[in-house]
């Protein structure tokens, strides 16, 4: 099975080398790495061309945000399995994709996901949070709990049933897409009890109270659009747990 890994990036010249190396050193050989660059003004494209000879497709043009970039990647992806690994993210070891593909030999599965370690951006110490996905089940989307997107692999047939990302979302487009995948399309899935991906702290959903409110509002909108019963208090309840779990260095709330 061919695996398509889609990397979205903009002005990520310093972050993307670790992602390129992570994909290039996977032991599984049938990987299609697609890099979608949002017309970076730094040296991102030069870095990809220099350090990513394995990259099969490089798109560099203005976009309307990360979900537009994801959709561009989806349109050119040819793999039977598709994953997203953004600039700065890396697989935990060289056997990750081989392990995931082995799980997909079960033809009943539409999705495979594992855990994510969130690490300091400067790499100064070990994980500051362990995002555990073992307790996920579709009803918990009402709590704002979803499989970690950088450790989620989806079979093409399920992708075709779900469709592209909704670009009207600022931050929670991946959450809304997961609601469609696991509730609307009733995707059959398995959780692998292991860390598949390491990602630096930050990102759209971890930029302070304003981003926390935007993502909560968008989660509520996504649930309402797909008849998932929830409420603002229920979704906001994840935030104190998230703060505590960051302090403890382990958690399972996005």
The C-alpha atoms of residue 130 and residue 137 are separated, in whole angstroms, by: 18
20-24 mean pLDDT = 98
Residues 194 and 178 in one domain: yes
**pLDDT value of position 239:** 83
Nearest to 6 by CA among 37, 30, 36, 28: 36
Adjacent-strand bridge partners of 111: 154, 189
Residues 172 and 240 in one domain: yes
Range name among 29-43, 53-67, 110-124, 233-247 with the lowest pLDDT average: 233-247
Q: How many CA atoms lie within 13 A of 77 on its CB side?
A: 31
The CATH number of the domain where 48 resides is what? Answer: 3.90.550.10
Q: Is the pLDDT of residue 254 over 60?
A: no
129-131/111-119 β-pairing: antiparallel
The C-alpha atoms of residue 239 and residue 254 are separated, in whole angstroms, by: 9
pTM of the predicted protein model: 0.93
The last residue of one of the domains, among 101, 130, 151, is: 101
Residues 230 and 110 in one domain: yes
Residues 214 and 116 in one domain: yes
Q: What would the two tokens of residue 113 be? A: 């996901």
Q: What is the DSSP string of 114-135?
A: EEEEEE-TT--SS-SEEE--TT
Q: Which residue has the higher pLDDT, 209 or 118?
A: 118
Q: Which residue has the higher pLDDT, 113 or 248?
A: 113
Our count of domains for the chain comes to 2
Q: Which residue has the higher pLDDT, 254 or 79?
A: 79
Tell me how far apart the terminal alpha carbons of the chain are, to the nearest angstrom: 30
Residue ranges making up the domain that contains 68: 1-101
**pLDDT value of position 206:** 53
Residues 67 and 149 in one domain: no
The C-alpha atoms of residue 125 and residue 138 are separated, in whole angstroms, by: 34
The last residue of one of the domains, among 78, 101, 124, is: 101
Residues 193 and 92 in one domain: no
Q: Is the pLDDT of residue 233 over 90?
A: yes
Residues 159 and 79 in one domain: no
The last residue of one of the domains, among 101, 130, 165, is: 101
Adjacent-strand bridge partners of 24: none
**pLDDT value of position 120:** 86
Q: Is the pLDDT of residue 123 over 80?
A: no
Residues 111 and 61 in one domain: no
Radius of gyration of the chain from Cα atoms?
Answer: 17
Asked whether 218 and 169 are in contact (CB, 8 A), the reply is yes
Residues 65 and 156 in one domain: no
- Tens digits of per-residue pLDDT, 134-167? 999 999 999 999 999 999 999 999 999 999 999 9
Element (H, E) at 215: helix 209-225
Residues 158 and 191 in one domain: yes
Residues 239 and 146 in one domain: yes
Residues 89 and 160 in one domain: no
């Amino acid at each position: 099975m061919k695996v398509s890994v889609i990397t979205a990036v903009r002005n990520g010249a310093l972050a993307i080398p670790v992602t390129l190396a992570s994909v290039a050193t996977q032991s599984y050989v049938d990987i299609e790495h697609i890099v979608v660059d949002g017309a970076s003004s730094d040296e991102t494209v030069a870095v990809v061309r220099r350090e990513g000879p394995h990259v099969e497709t490089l798109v560099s043009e203005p976009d309307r945000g990360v979900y537009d970039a994801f959709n561009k990647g989806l349109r050119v992806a040819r793999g039977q399995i598709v994953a997203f690994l953004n600039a700065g993210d890396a697989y935990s070891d060289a056997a990750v994709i081989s392990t995931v593909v082995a799980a997909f030999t079960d033809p009943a599965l539409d999705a495979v996901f594992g855990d994510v370690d969130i690490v300091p951006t400067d790499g100064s110490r070990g994980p500051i949070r362990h995002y555990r996905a073992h307790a996920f089940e579709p009803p918990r989307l009402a709590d704002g709990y979803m499989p970690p997107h950088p450790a989620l692999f989806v079979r093409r047939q399920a992708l075709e049933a779900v469709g592209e990302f909704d670009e009207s979302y600022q931050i929670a487009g991946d959450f809304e897409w997961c609601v469609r995948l696991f509730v609307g399309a009733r995707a059959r899935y398995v959780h692998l009890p292991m860390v598949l991906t390491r990602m630096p702290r930050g990102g759209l959903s971890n930029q302070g109270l304003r981003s926390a409110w935007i993502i909560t509002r968008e989660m509520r909108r996504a649930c309402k659009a797909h008849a998932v019963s929830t409420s603002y208090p229920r979704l906001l309840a994840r935030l104190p747990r998230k703060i505590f779990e960051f302090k403890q260095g382990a958690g399972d709330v996005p």
